Amino acid sequence: MTHDRDPDRSVSQTVKALLSLRDLILAGSLKPGERISELSMVERTGVSRTPVRMALVRLEEEGLIEAIPSGGFAVKAFSESDIFDSIEVRGVMEGLVAKAAAERGVSRAALTGAKDCLSEIDELIDDELTLDHFSDYVRLNARFHALLQDMSGSAVMIRQAERAAALPFASPSGFVMAQSALPQARTILIVAQDQHHSVLEAIENREGERAESIMREHARLARRNLQLALANQATLDLVAGSALIRRRKSV
């Protein structure tokens, strides 16, 4: 069997193409509205045409590019409203996950794992905050949100929650690095962490509606972070993919 027909190699080449293309888009090397053809991306990524084609389809599913009538794809731009809607969808799905976890019940081991994760975040934000602290927060925050999804015990809900979080700029940590440059940084982290503790308490106490409400409100912190970042270009530049955001014109 040749290397080109090796399924493991094919998958690795598709992943390479996907990561390369996503980085080009988020770094602003491919501009909003710019046409992307398979052949040009083969040259830029050094990956053959089939993996590039598969990567482009995946990026279309993620919402970063869109098919155009003349053939190929174009990089999408996102209005503030688009991003707010994506964050709202993520909040709805995370609220549903938290409600299911509370109503169905969660094992002691799962609760302990989530509490341990929150303890690490508590220690982090009690310290003097540096860029490394915010990087660690992104990692721990992603772990906590993943643990919450697992608590639902529903593969269907987990999959849909993951899809919602993968929408452009909808990630729970999408604006954390921009937040690091804000004077309100510690206050925002403290509020977010209090919501983390509160939703876990609601889940442990089997309070489904409370858990759902907390997670929907928790997602709206990302909206606030975006609004604060939009007020300062230097801060906005810390957001991955900020070049894709179509700013509202001042009047």
Segment 92-128, tens digit of pLDDT = 999 999 999 999 999 999 999 999 999 999 999 998 8
230/11 Cα distance (integer angstroms): 38
Check residues 71 and 104 and name the one with the higher pLDDT. Answer: 104
- Distances in Å between the Cα of 32 and the Cα atoms of 64, 119, 192 are 9, 41, 32
Contact 222, 175 (CB under 8 A): yes
pLDDT at 172 over 80: yes
pLDDT at 42 over 80: yes
Domains and CATH numbers, the chain: 3-76 (1.10.10.10), 79-246 (1.20.120.530)
Residue 153's pLDDT is 95
Contact 74, 65 (CB under 8 A): yes
Indicate the pLDDT class of residue 57, thresholds 50, 70 and 90: very high
Q: Which residue has the tokens 């731009």?
A: 77
* Averaged pLDDT score across all residues of the chain: 88
Residue 10's pLDDT is 55
Indicate the pLDDT class of residue 84, thresholds 50, 70 and 90: very high
Mean pLDDT of 136-165: 95
Indicate the pLDDT class of residue 251, thresholds 50, 70 and 90: very low
Q: Name the token pair of 71.
A: 């053939």
At residue 73, the 3 state secondary structure works out as strand
CB atoms near residue 3 (< 10 Å): 9
Strands (E), the chain: 35-36, 65-67, 73-75, 78-79, 245-246
